[in-house]
Structure 1
Amino acid sequence: MRVLLIFSLFVVGERVRAHSDFLRFYSSRDCRGQSRLLQGHLDRHRNLNKIIENNEIRSVRLTGVWLLYQLKNYNEYIGMVYVVHGNNITKNLPSDFPTKLSSIRRVRRSSLPMLTLYERDDYAGKELTVSDNRIQLHELPHGKANSLIMTGDMPWTIVTKDHGKTNSACVYPDVTFDPDTDGQVKNLGFYPNTESMGLSGSVVAVIAGCTE
């Protein structure tokens, strides 16, 4: 059985003027070669073969939180994902990560705490971003999620169901980085599966805040 590896990277970049999230990827290491900028509404692509020759991406420059997938449609099958975030950083992709990427998307952020839920493990499949309680996840297939990314400093209560049994746990952001020149710290939490949340089964509801 193929093992899916997750590479989660935190890099503190140099201070620059605050600006919106962006990602420019390059076909060669050290930000050289053919490049393409993703910014604004162009913050996700299901099939990179349509915009860059041979899908070859070996380095990136970015601000924000981005997910780089080995396969198209955000890993429509089991594949690797590279999670990278920071402020105006440049980074070569790891040597053991495929150079041929097939899809990419940005994790949305705002001044409010947010939770982005993903259909499958390792941030794969369809996504749903929420900022308040959701007792049902109708927007996702079968109303279930299996991984999530938090932005903001608020904890969330995660409710799962496993073979008819309901469980819940409080999850917190576990990573911080400073993307702004005003010194405002941004908090993030990465949970690639329900086991990383201390739960089992699939997520069926989320509640802002915790009572535990």
Structure 2
Amino acid sequence: MRASLVILLAIGVAVAKESRAGEKYCTCYSELNGGGYNYTFYDYVPDLSPYNFTSDVDSLRVRGMWLCYDNVNYKYELGPVFWIHGIDFGSNLPFGFANVCSSLRYVGQPNCLNCDSYTVYEETFFNWAEFCGHADTTTMGALNDQGSSIIVTGASAWTFYEGRSYTGYSACVYPDTDHDVGPNGETLDLGIYPDVTSIGFYDNAINSVRRGCYSKNVFKAEPLKAEVKAKNGAWGYIKK
């Protein structure tokens, strides 16, 4: 378990990318359509400037789901949060967001494309600190009473609780809002919840979680609006 404080004109395109089996990656390009300087990331990047990207990302190619922020340390102030998910899926950043990406991070487990996982974020729209795991936990550690948004991946449902040790109000969610299929038949399944109040919680009220559906309160998230959606991926952005 980990707790951390821590693209091709307007169409989705399947592209060839050699990577280790199951591993997530995000390749950033300094120009549109995969041109210019590029760098491939396999881990969280709280600040892109040391990699010669000073708010200078125009297009991306990804495996897995990645979130891109207009400020360092996974937060945004003025611009939207740009999201992209897929299996060897590429896109230009949308107008108004190109050249303003300052930090990025993936969703779920790093070396498994579609393993069961949950990530709880400190703020709505997947901002600031996070608590990520793939097993039951009776406490959210440093993020107790702070969770405001959730993303789940894989095949399993997850039940979130208001109290520690699986007590109080509960809500069951599934990774069934987005389903990507790659060129070789690989799949990526996501359940994306930008605001926990949509599943009956007060803000900042999640304290434990376990795998499976153990609540009478079962929710299905509305899919995020995708600016482009293809069989192997999609992208879009959300803002307050």
TM-score after normalising by structure 1: 0.80
CA gap 1:179/1:200 in 2 versus in 1, 3 angstroms? farther
Counterpart amino acid of residue 114 in structure 1 = S
Measured after TM superposition, the shift of residue 143 of structure 1 is: 4.6
Partner of 2:8: none
CA–CA distance in structure 1, aligned partners of residues 193 and 76 of structure 2: 19
Measured after TM superposition, the shift of residue 78 of structure 1 is: 6.6
Indicate whether 1:35 and 2:41 are aligned.
Answer: no
Indicate whether 1:64 and 2:67 are aligned.
Answer: no
Indicate whether 1:210 and 2:195 are aligned.
Answer: no
CA–CA distance in structure 2, aligned partners of residues 11 and 176 of structure 1: 14
Q: Please identify, of 72-81 and 184-193, the stretch whose mean Cα deviation from structure 2 is larger.
A: 72-81
Q: Please identify, of 166-175 and 84-93, the stretch whose mean Cα deviation from structure 2 is larger.
A: 166-175
What pairs with 1:105-124 in structure 2 (closer than 5 Å)?
105-109=105-109, 110=112, 112-124=115-127
CA gap 1:55/1:14 in 2 versus in 1, 3 angstroms? closer
Measured after TM superposition, the shift of residue 73 of structure 1 is: 0.5
SS where residue 73 of structure 2 aligns?
Answer: helix
Partner of 1:190: 192
What pairs with 1:38-117 in structure 2 (closer than 5 Å)?
38-39=41-42, 43-75=43-75, 79-109=79-109, 110=112, 112-117=115-120
CA gap 1:15/1:55 in 2 versus in 1, 3 angstroms? closer
What pairs with 1:149-168 in structure 2 (closer than 5 Å)?
149-160=151-162, 166-168=168-170
Measured after TM superposition, the shift of residue 99 of structure 1 is: 2.1
Structure 2 segments unaligned to the other structure (5+ residues): 1-10, 217-240
Measured after TM superposition, the shift of residue 59 of structure 1 is: 0.5
2:28/2:61 contact within 8 Å kept: yes
Counterpart amino acid of residue 46 in structure 1 = P
Partner of 1:4: none
How many corresponding residue pairs? 195
Partner of 1:126: 129
Question: Percent same amino acid among aligned pairs?
Answer: 27
Q: What is the RMSD computed on CA atoms of the aligned residues?
A: 2.7
Partner of 1:21: 24
Counterpart amino acid of residue 74 in structure 1 = Y
Q: Please identify, of 21-30 and 190-199, the stretch whose mean Cα deviation from structure 2 is larger.
A: 190-199
Higher relative contact order (CA 8 A, sep 6+): 2
Measured after TM superposition, the shift of residue 53 of structure 1 is: 4.3
SS where residue 176 of structure 1 aligns?
Answer: strand
Measured after TM superposition, the shift of residue 197 of structure 1 is: 2.5
CA–CA distance in structure 2, aligned partners of residues 143 and 180 of structure 1: 41
Measured after TM superposition, the shift of residue 170 of structure 1 is: 1.2
CA–CA distance in structure 2, aligned partners of residues 74 and 16 of structure 1: 26
1:160/1:201 contact within 8 Å kept: no
TM-score after normalising by structure 2: 0.71
2:64/2:106 contact within 8 Å kept: yes
CA gap 1:112/1:60 in 2 versus in 1, 3 angstroms? closer
Structure 1 segments unaligned to the other structure (5+ residues): 1-9
SS where residue 147 of structure 2 aligns?
Answer: coil
